[in-house]
Amino acid sequence: MANKSILVVGGGISGITAALEAAEAGCEVYIAEKNPYLGGRVTQINQYFPKLCPPNCGLEINFQRIRNNPRINFFTLAEVENISGQEGNFDVTLKINPRYVNDNCTGCGKCVEACPVEVDNPFNYGMNKIKAIHLPHDFAFPMKYVIKADACKEAGCAGKCAEVCEYKAIEPDMQSKTMNLNVGAIVWATGWNPYDANKLSYYGFGRFKNVVTNVMLERMAAMNGPTGGKIVRPSDGKEIKSIAFVQCAGSRDENHLKACSSVCCLASLKHATYVREQYPDAEISIYYIDIRARGKYEDFFTKVQEEANVTLIKGKAGEIEEDQTNGQLVVIAEDQEAKQVTRKSYDLVVLATGMAPSTATAAIPADMAYDEDGFVVPGAGTAGIVVAGCVKNPLDVASAVRDATAAALKAIQSTVRGQ
């Protein structure tokens, strides 16, 4: 008996795309997302290159498509525990972690005022604090609050939020539950994690406050980020006069991520435009090995060079030193064209950390093959489990969407073959 339904694991841009493309072609689709909201990493991006447009715009369209489509069901806070069966007929066990807030939540926000517990805001990579009960971010879809329950326990709060909620939406005792789905195909699109910059100890991330990562800068530039959109030095909140971007921080590196992460060059060029807009006179340097602005992205590279007045330094940044008196950072590099080892001082240094596939740390609970960096080998392993997006290759958003669209068709083929 054919099973036309498809489970998409991961509700980021790849997962949402695969789900929508399949659903709009008539399939029943489930999305399982581990965060309390859909949208994944792109929700944390301020602007896309090369258009410099806000990702929330496209996400809004996609959420609208989800709202209007009766064939899509999604689960947040969901993880896949087990997969059995074969192409055309998979039994999947999902674990739904507790949100501690039920469907009665209207999103009114009264609970937040009452909540006495502050936690690091994961959405902003811990650069600011939020209440233990919170809306994950402004555009959170679904617009439901969530509780970081371990923080409540630690603080010994018995549920001040529950006391003020008029709609009985808060359930401090909510338990995780499991549910079973039977589907014809699975699209695995769990995306990527930023490479852990702590592993690059020569750059001082974690020791020097003014060394941040590219994903952090993205939040700093966002109007709804920890600094209200102002790019400033984390150590003292001061405006910056100079900034350095360190490319291949972990990527193209046999000791770290062996592959090139594909997006970091363009991301840093984009970040240069953020900085230039806020600081017309700031010095912006990019330390690079090769600038990889492939295809039509070359136009963006050209434009940024012309308009943002960026100094490109051919030479990977070797080390970063901190002047403890003022938090200034010295980037030491071999400027190959100038034929000298340079030591330049900056207010802020951004590490262009790359993409580690999520499957490097959380493998698919099925027979699948992985390459040496943990990316899934396409076409190998269990038939009927299709991979999409950055679990397969390090991809920019447009390429990930393309890939996810292709994956949707392959999933449909699996449901057809399974007949």
Q: How far is the CB of 82 from other proteins (least distance, A)?
A: 26
| Binders of other proteins in range 23-42 (CB under 8 A) | 24-26
Report yes or no: 290 and 247 within 8 Å, Cβ to Cβ. Answer: no
The answer to whether 259 contacts other proteins (rule: CB under 8 A) is yes
Based on CB atoms, which residue is closest to other proteins, 59 or 152?
A: 59
Q: How far is the CB of 24 from other proteins (least distance, A)?
A: 5
User: Could you say which of 151, 311, 316, 382 contacts other proteins (CB under 8 A)?
Assistant: 316
Per-residue binding string, other proteins, 171-210, x by CB under 8 A, is ------------------------------xx----x---
Report yes or no: 285 and 346 within 8 Å, Cβ to Cβ. Answer: yes
Report yes or no: 25 and 411 within 8 Å, Cβ to Cβ. Answer: no
User: Could you say which of 87, 131, 395, 418 contacts other proteins (CB under 8 A)?
Assistant: 395
Q: How far is the CB of 333 from other proteins (least distance, A)?
A: 6
CA distance 102 to 88: 33
Based on CB atoms, which residue is closest to other proteins, 26 or 280?
A: 26
Q: How far is the CB of 81 from other proteins (least distance, A)?
A: 25
Q: How far is the CB of 91 from other proteins (least distance, A)?
A: 24
| Binders of other proteins in range 261-290 (CB under 8 A) | 261-262, 289-290
The answer to whether 359 contacts other proteins (rule: CB under 8 A) is no
| Binders of other proteins in range 40-69 (CB under 8 A) | 46, 48, 51-65, 67-69
Question: How many residues sit close enough to other proteins to count as binding (CB under 8 A)?
Answer: 106
Piece in contact with other proteins (CB under 8 A), picked from 81-89, 148-156, 273-281, 373-381: 373-381
| Binders of other proteins in range 135-174 (CB under 8 A) | 138-139, 142-143, 166-167
Per-residue binding string, other proteins, 79-108, x by CB under 8 A, is -------------------------x-xxx
Q: How far is the CB of 150 from other proteins (least distance, A)?
A: 26
Residue 390 sits at φ, ψ, to 5 deg, of -75, 0
96-134 CB burial, b ≥16 within 10 A, e <16:
bbbbbbeeebeeeeebbebbebebebebbbebeebbbbb
Tokens of 202: 């020569």
Residue from 406, 366, 304 nearest 82 by CA: 366
Based on CB atoms, which residue is closest to other proteins, 165 or 212?
A: 165
For the four alpha carbons of 364, 368, 372 and 376, in that order, the dihedral sign comes to negative
Q: How far is the CB of 155 from other proteins (least distance, A)?
A: 26
Report yes or no: 327 and 189 within 8 Å, Cβ to Cβ. Answer: no
The answer to whether 315 contacts other proteins (rule: CB under 8 A) is yes
Q: How far is the CB of 182 from other proteins (least distance, A)?
A: 21
| Binders of other proteins in range 230-249 (CB under 8 A) | 248
User: Could you say which of 156, 281, 339, 361 contacts other proteins (CB under 8 A)?
Assistant: 339
Q: How far is the CB of 8 from other proteins (least distance, A)?
A: 14
User: Could you say which of 28, 79, 218, 373 contacts other proteins (CB under 8 A)?
Assistant: 373
